[in-house]
Amino acid sequence: MHSIRWVVAVSFLVACVPGCSDDTVGPDDDAGGEAEGGHAEGGQAQGGDSEGGAGGQAPVDPCAGFATEVVDVQYGPDAGFGQRDMPGIVLGPPHGAGETTGSFDVVALGNGGTITMGFGDQVISDGEGPDFIVFENAFYAGGDPDSPFAELGTVEVSADGESWVAFACKATEAPYGSCAGWHPVLAGSEESDADPHDPAAAGGDAFDLADVGLTEARFVRIVDRPDTTGLAGSFDLDAIALVHWTCTR
């Protein structure tokens, strides 16, 4: 989350008294669509995945193809945004804001921060093409797809939570290849009814287990890239959706 975004968030809070519409920050239909005044102290413009109230503890469908738990999180400097709505804000489906706007339904990792997401009884499997999608809150500055507002993270996967393999994320200018955090999120936005499990329509950054030689995975870890000088601040996680998975429940 970059400081500019804080300005936007604060401006929004100033303009939006409790009970007003949050149409300017994304759909977030599940959350009831209203900003809460109580979030002001955390700098939050909206309650995120607050369907279940306190602390974003809304129950997540265990087989719906989304992350169901935060296994571990280590925040870096400049984190803070979204933490009061953890873990619910990063579980379940994405709440995108379209091609030219970044959603506030995210948690900022801070520079060098990391988060490990689990999927419960769901196992990500290597099917045809991409197998899961990571949703950040990137957007196209000025509507130009060649100029993404990117906050990059390296994505790692593990079948057992012990042994990890990483997707290469070395690019220092667009296009950012196998990094997460540079494609806008369409699924869950007002301008799209895209299936969040469809990598051709949902937006976000899609990953194929075959690219790192795995046939299945149970955990996804995202590590903010603190070295991306010239880019904006840290990686903001909205959600992870599965494309190919089985559920043993």
Parallel, antiparallel or unpaired: strands 148-149 and 139-140: antiparallel
The answer to whether 221 and 212 have CB atoms below 8 angstroms apart is no
Q: Which of 111, 64, 113 is nearest to 86 (CA)?
A: 113
If the CB atoms of residues 35 and 97 are measured against Ca ion, the closer one turns out to be 97
The answer to whether 88 and 95 have CB atoms below 8 angstroms apart is no
What are the contacts of 31-35 at 24+ separation with CB within 8 A?
31/95, 31/105
If the CB atoms of residues 28 and 151 are measured against Ca ion, the closer one turns out to be 151
If the CB atoms of residues 36 and 126 are measured against Ca ion, the closer one turns out to be 126
If the CB atoms of residues 34 and 216 are measured against Ca ion, the closer one turns out to be 216
If the CB atoms of residues 5 and 84 are measured against Ca ion, the closer one turns out to be 5
Task: Report in angstroms how near the CB of residue 128 gets to Ca ion at its nearest.
Answer: 6
Binding track over 145-184 against Ca ion, x by CB under 5 A: ------x---------------------------------
132, 134, 185, 246 from 124: Cα distances, Å? 8, 13, 21, 7
Residue 101's contacts (CB-CB under 8 Å, 6 or more residues apart) are 26, 139
Q: Residue count at the site for Ca ion (CB under 5 A)? A: 7
If the CB atoms of residues 34 and 126 are measured against Ca ion, the closer one turns out to be 126
| Site membership for Ca ion, residue 210 (CB under 5 A) | yes
Binding track over 112-151 against Ca ion, x by CB under 5 A: --------------x----x-----x-------------x
Task: Report in angstroms how near the CB of residue 142 gets to Ca ion at its nearest.
Answer: 16
Task: Report in angstroms how near the CB of residue 238 gets to Ca ion at its nearest.
Answer: 9
| Site membership for Ca ion, residue 105 (CB under 5 A) | no
36, 204, 214 from 198: Cα distances, Å? 32, 10, 21
Residues 213-242 that bind Ca ion (CB under 5 A): 236
Q: Residue 69 belongs to what H/E stretch?
A: strand 69-74
Cα separation, 219 vs 162, in Å, equals 10
SS3 166: strand
The answer to whether 64 and 243 have CB atoms below 8 angstroms apart is no
Find the part of the chain contacting Ca ion (CB under 5 A) among 93-101, 162-170, 171-179, 206-214.
206-214
Find the part of the chain contacting Ca ion (CB under 5 A) among 25-33, 54-62, 190-198, 209-217.
209-217
Task: Report in angstroms how near the CB of residue 235 gets to Ca ion at its nearest.
Answer: 7
- DSSP label of 244: S
Cα separation, 32 vs 30, in Å, equals 6
| Site membership for Ca ion, residue 208 (CB under 5 A) | yes
| Site membership for Ca ion, residue 50 (CB under 5 A) | no
Interface ranges with Ca ion (CB under 5 A): 126, 131, 137, 151, 208, 210, 236
